[in-house]
Amino acid sequence: MSKIRRKFTKEQKLEIVNMSLEDNQSVRDVAELIYVHPKNVIYN
C-alpha cells in the first residue's frame, strides 16, 4: 500500500510561512496544523 504524496501550491506555501511568522509559532506547531512531520519542514 503506497501513500499519496501531497503537493502544496505556491499560495499554500506562502500561507504556511506567514502562519509561522505572524503567529510566532514553532516549526512543530505549524507542521501539526498542516499534518506533516516536523522533519519534513525546511527552515533556517
Question: What pLDDT digit, counting tens, does each position of 27-38 carry?
Answer: 788 888 888 887
Q: Which residue has the higher pLDDT, 27 or 11?
A: 11
pLDDT at 11 over 90: yes
Q: Is the pLDDT of residue 26 over 90?
A: no
Question: What per-residue confidence (pLDDT) applies to 29?
Answer: 87
Distances (CA, A) of 33 to 2, 18, 39: 23, 13, 14
Phi and psi at residue 24, to the nearest 5°: 55, 40
Contact 34, 43 (CB under 8 A): no
